[in-house]
């Protein structure tokens, strides 16, 4: 497919999303209806759709509307390209820009460039202060791909060499001790021998740093209470060189854990109703994901104040449920992939007020940037 035909495809998909479909089903449905599109075309179309979603507000202001055509005219203009060179109507290119479309073009400014709904722009400003502009600018671009070298089966040098042998170039990243940033051929990672053999896992560098901040030591009894797909549990098992109990309210979220654990040579033990006592419990709580919206940009447009309030309630409940399961002298670690105070420091303050037997030992905030996503972790020690 030509670059302009890919833009025409992205317009169809964005229009489908405008009628209420989520990005993944819209992309899959388009691919099913256009079997001639190869994997490179599908990947390129996906990149355009996701980039337009990251910049939806500024693209809409630039292109004069929320339709697929307006968004992508705006997206092309934001990129410094000439829409008339792409919207030619030739071959499979989108139809030429009409006079009414052109008249609607604008120049995004101020809040448009934050690429957030107004209510979230306010919350971001309140939580991030002087750093808000920089964080919003970062979230308008694609995130780097990071890997975690699995210390149970490999080390940095061996893993980098194995990846390089398959054309995957990496560099060590300072955010966490076992983190690699993929510099070239990131799409090859999931099919590589290094990945299949468990030498590396795909995991954001700041997510890895959250685990490095925990006082993990061999022999500790550890529970991952919100284990999901097991990304952080695997990282804990590698640091611990021992087993980790895994739990999630939604069993289906843990479906991949047995295969992932086997590949990584790690012992993750599913526990339906954990009781404790544990020396360390990680609560990687459900959250807005506001630190990871580069990767999942749909989420920032879908979040509502009501949903955020619900998440805040669930986060409090999870901490309250886990606190009694922590052994005396043990640790409760609270993590989110959010940059919003109400999900992070405010939750910790409220928890400490209700649980005077805990003290705050450490609190780290990672902002989204070149070295990883936006994450938060608080290490709370029980007396
Ligand atoms: C941020 S995700 C966890 C990601 C995971 N730790 C990882 O590193 O891949 C949050 C998880 O919390 C789970 N969850 C939501 N409410 C919960 C609750 N009340 N108790 C336990 N887990 C819950 C969700 O099903 C989801 O899998």
Where residue 67 falls among pLDDT bands split at 50, 70, 90?
very high
Mean pLDDT of 78-89: 96
Would you say 291 and 375 are in contact if contact means Cβ atoms under 8 Å apart?
yes
Where residue 156 falls among pLDDT bands split at 50, 70, 90?
very high
Distance 313 CA to ligand 1 centre (A): 14
Residue 305 pLDDT exceeds 90: yes
> How is 78-142 classified by DSSP, letter by letter?
HTT--HHHH---STTSPPPPPHHHHHH-----GGGGGTS-HHHHHHHHHHHGGGHHHHHHHHTSP
Which tokens belong to 324? 């009694």
Residues forming a β-bridge with 379:
333, 362
User: What pLDDT score was predicted for residue 276?
Assistant: 87
Q: How confident is the prediction for the chain on average, in pLDDT?
A: 97
Active-site option among 136, 226, 287, 337:
337
Give pTM, 2 decimals. 0.96
User: What pLDDT score was predicted for residue 103?
Assistant: 98
Distance 314 CA to ligand 1 centre (A): 10
Q: Residues of the chain with pLDDT > 70: what percent? A: 100
pLDDT digits (tens, 9 = 90+) for 212-270: 999 999 999 999 999 999 999 999 999 999 999 999 999 999 999 999 999 999 999 99
Matching residue, tokens 């006082």: 215
Where residue 84 falls among pLDDT bands split at 50, 70, 90?
very high
The C-alpha atoms of residue 248 and residue 174 are separated, in whole angstroms, by 31
Length of the chain: 383
248 labelled binding-site residue: yes
Mean pLDDT of 89-98: 97
Would you say 74 and 68 are in contact if contact means Cβ atoms under 8 Å apart?
no
User: What pLDDT score was predicted for residue 323?
Assistant: 98
Give the residue whose CA is nearest to atom 11 of ligand 1: 226
Structural domains of the chain ordered from first start: 3-115 (no CATH), 145-203 (3.30.70.1170), 206-382 (3.40.50.150)
The C-alpha atoms of residue 327 and residue 185 are separated, in whole angstroms, by 45
Residue 200 pLDDT exceeds 90: yes
User: What pLDDT score was predicted for residue 117?
Assistant: 97
Please report the atom of ligand 1 found closest to the CA of residue 254.
27
Distance 227 CA to ligand 1 centre (A): 6
**Assembly ipTM:** 0.99
Does residue 337 carry a catalytic annotation? yes
Distance 151 CA to ligand 1 centre (A): 25
pLDDT digits (tens, 9 = 90+) for 176-190: 999 999 999 999 999
Residue 259's contacts (CB-CB under 8 Å, 6 or more residues apart) are: none
pLDDT digits (tens, 9 = 90+) for 40-59: 999 999 999 999 999 999 99
User: What pLDDT score was predicted for residue 208?
Assistant: 98
Residues forming a β-bridge with 364:
377
Q: Which helix (H) or strand (E) holds 322?
A: helix 305-322
Q: What is residue 269's three-state secondary structure?
A: strand
The residue with greater pLDDT, 278 or 110, is 278
284 labelled binding-site residue: yes
Residue 57's contacts (CB-CB under 8 Å, 6 or more residues apart) are: 108, 111, 112, 114, 115, 116, 117
Give the residue whose CA is nearest to atom 7 of ligand 1: 231
Residues in contact with ligand 1 (CB, 6 Å cut-off): 225-232, 248-250, 253, 284, 286, 314, 318
Query: Pairing between strand 222-224 and 278-284?
Result: parallel
Would you say 372 and 146 are in contact if contact means Cβ atoms under 8 Å apart?
yes
């Amino acid at each position: 497919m030509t670059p302009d035909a890919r833009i025409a495809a992205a317009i169809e998909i964005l229009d489908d999303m405008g009628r209420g479909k989520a990005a993944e089903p819209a992309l899959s449905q388009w691919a099913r209806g256009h079997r001639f599109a190869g994997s490179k075309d599908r990947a390129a179309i996906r990149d355009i759709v996701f980039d337009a979603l990251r910049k939806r507000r500024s693209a809409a202001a630039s292109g004069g509307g929320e339709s697929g055509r307006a968004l992508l005219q705006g997206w092309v203009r934001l990129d410094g390209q000439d829409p008339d060179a792409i919207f030619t109507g030739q071959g499979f290119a989108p139809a030429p820009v009409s006079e009414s479309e052109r008249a609607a073009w604008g120049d995004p400014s101020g809040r448009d460039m934050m690429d957030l709904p107004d209510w979230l722009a306010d919350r971001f400003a309140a939580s991030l202060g002087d750093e808000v502009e920089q964080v919003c600018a970062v979230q308008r671009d694609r995130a780097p791909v990071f890997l975690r070298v699995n210390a149970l089966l490999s080390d940095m040098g061996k893993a980098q060499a194995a990846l390089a042998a398959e054309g995957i170039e990496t560099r060590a990243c300072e955010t966490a001790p076992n983190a690699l940033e993929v510099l070239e051929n990131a799409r090859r990672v999931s099919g590589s021998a290094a990945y299949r053999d468990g030498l590396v896992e795909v995991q954001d560098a700041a997510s890895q740093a959250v685990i490095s901040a925990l006082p993990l030591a061999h022999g500790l009894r550890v529970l991952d209470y919100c284990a999901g797909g097991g990304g952080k549990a695997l990282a804990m098992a590698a640091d611990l060189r021992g087993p980790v109990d895994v739990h999630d309210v939604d069993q289906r979220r843990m479906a991949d854990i047995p295969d992932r654990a086997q590949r990584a040579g790690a012992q993750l033990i599913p526990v339906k109703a954990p009781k404790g006592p544990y020396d360390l419990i990680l609560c990687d709580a459900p959250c807005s994901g506001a630190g990871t919206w580069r990767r999942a940009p749909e989420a920032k447009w879908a979040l509502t104040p009501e949903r955020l309030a619900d998440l805040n309630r669930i986060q409090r409940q999870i901490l309250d449920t886990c606190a009694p399961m922590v052994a005396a002298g043990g640790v409760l670690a609270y993590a989110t992939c959010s940059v919003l105070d109400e999900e992070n420091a405010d939750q910790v303050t409220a928890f400490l007020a209700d649980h005077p037997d805990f003290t705050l030992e450490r609190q780290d905030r990672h902002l989204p940037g070149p070295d990883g996503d936006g994450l938060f972790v608080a290490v709370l020690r029980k007396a």
